[in-house]
């Protein structure tokens, strides 16, 4: 599998890459109206979500898909969240998500041409329970010669 485009997470005023896909559970739900298709080998899930953590709660802020019907010169089209999540306002509280968000930070140590497997200097892990931030930990992955696992388990 090709390395994938990451999601985006706005946390403490910083926009981070997000190597976790919190929308997956919703997309697999039969009641989810949007159906995404992989548009290139680097985007098998078919979309890129932008997320934020505000007042210790995880919110979906935007969804973009690659499209020929672009809203700008980037080739990405924004989907109106209200179509899928009526009355969502400025974002959708991700109450369905429980798990760990992984945000790579720092310099790329080792590129891996598969999924979200590339290794960066650090991984910031944010533990989420039913959409609420309940923990945070930082894992330092070493320098350029590092060859060990990216995540501590």
Q: Nearest 5°: phi and psi at 101?
A: -90, 135
Characterize 1-29 residue by residue with b for buried, 16 or more Cβ atoms within 10 angstroms of its Cβ, and e for exposed: eeebbbbbbbbeeeebbbbbbbbeebeee
Give residue 74's pLDDT.
67
| pLDDT tens digits, 69-97 | 655 566 778 888 888 888 888 899 999 99
Q: Block means of pLDDT (10 residues each) for the chain, length 153 residues? A: 83 93 79 71 80 97 76 72 84 94 87 72 95 96 52 37
Residue found under tokens 């959409």: 131
Taking the model in full, what pTM does it have?
0.78
Could you tell me the residue ranges of all domains in the chain? Answer: 7-93, 99-140
């Amino acid at each position: 599998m090709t390395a994938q485009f990451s999601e985006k997470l706005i946390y403490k005023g910083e926009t981070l890459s997000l190597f976790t896909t919190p929308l997956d559970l919703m997309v697999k739900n039969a009641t989810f109206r949007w159906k995404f298709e992989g548009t290139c080998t680097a985007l098998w899930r078919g979309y890129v979500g932008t997320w934020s953590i505000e007042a210790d709660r995880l919110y979906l802020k935007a969804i973009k898909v690659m499209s020929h019907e672009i809203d700008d010169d980037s080739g990405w089209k924004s989907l109106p969240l209200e179509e899928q999540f009526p009355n969502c306002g400025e974002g959708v509280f991700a109450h369905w998500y429980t798990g760990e968000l992984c945000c790579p930070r720092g310099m790329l140590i080792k590129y891996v041409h598969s999924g979200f497997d590339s290794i960066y200097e650090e991984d910031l892990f944010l533990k989420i329970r039913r959409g609420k931030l309940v923990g945070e930990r930082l894992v330092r992955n070493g320098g350029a010669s590092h060859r060990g696992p990216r995540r501590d388990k």
